[in-house]
Amino acid sequence: MSGEGPIKVSYVFPNGDRYEGECSRSESGVMMRSGTGKHTSASGLIYTGEWQEDKMHGRGTLQHPSGALYEGELKDNMYHGIGKYTFPDGSTYEGHFNRNRLEGEGAFTNSQGLVWTGEFHGKAALGLKLQH
C-alpha cells in the first residue's frame, strides 16, 4: 500500500461522528485521517482542514456548537501557530497560539469593536494598548 496517494473516504464512527476526506494507511495497516478532510462530531463540532497521522495538523477551521470559531494553524489537535478565534459574543483574538493558549503578540477586539494589542500569556495580558 505504501507509495500510493491518499484514499478518499466517507466514514461514520460508532459514536455518530462523521469524516469525509483523505486517509492513508500506516505501516501497521491502520487507516488514519491524513491530508484534507471534514470531521463532524455528533455534538456539532465541525473541523475542516488538514490532518496528519489522525490528528488535526496544519491549517483548518474549527466550528464549535456555541458559535465560537477558530481559523488558523493547528498542531497535534491543538491551536498552535497563527490563528483567529471568534468568541460566541462576536469578540475576537488574532495572533499567536501555543498549545491551545493565547501566547505572544496578538490583538483582542471586544464585542463593541475596541481593539487591544500586545503580549498575551494565557489568561494574563499585561500592558495591552487600546488602539484609537
**Residue bearing the bigger pLDDT, 132 or 102:** 102
Is the same domain home to 49 and 99?
no
| Rounded Cα–Cα distance for residues 82 and 87 (Å) | 16
Q: What is the pLDDT of residue 1?
A: 41
- For residue range 67-103, what is the model confidence (pLDDT) as tens digits? 999 999 999 999 999 999 999 999 999 999 999 999 9
CA-CA-CA-CA dihedral for 89, 94, 98, 104, to nearest 10:
-120
Residue where a domain stops, chosen among 15, 37, 63: 63
**3 and 36 assigned to the same domain:** yes
String of b and e for 16-42 (b: at least 16 CB within 10 Å)? eeebebbbbeeeeeeeebbbebebbee
* Residue 125 confidence (pLDDT): 86
Same domain, yes or no: 53 and 79: no
CB-based contacts of 132, cutoff 8 Å, min separation 6:
none
Same domain flag for 82 and 119: yes
Please report the pLDDT score of residue 118 as a whole number. Answer: 95
Q: Which three cell numbers stand for residue 121?
A: 500569556
Cα-Cα-Cα-Cα dihedral sign, residues 96, 102, 104, 108: positive
pLDDT digits (tens, 9 = 90+) for 17-65: 999 999 999 889 999 999 999 999 999 999 999 999 999 999 999 999 9
Query: Alpha helix (H) ranges present in 54-106?
Result: none
Please tell me the predicted confidence (pLDDT) of residue 24.
94
For 82, the domain range is: 66-132
| pTM over 0.95, yes/no | no
Please tell me the predicted confidence (pLDDT) of residue 123. Answer: 80
Q: Which cell goes with 24?
A: 492513508
Report the distance separating Cα 66 and Cα 64, nearest Å: 5
Q: What is the pLDDT of residue 4?
A: 62
Q: CB–CB of 131/112 below 8 Å?
A: no
Do both 1 and 23 map to the same domain? yes
For the chain, what is the domain count? 2
Average pLDDT of the segment spanning 96-124 = 94
Identify whether residues 9 and 43 lie together within a single domain: yes
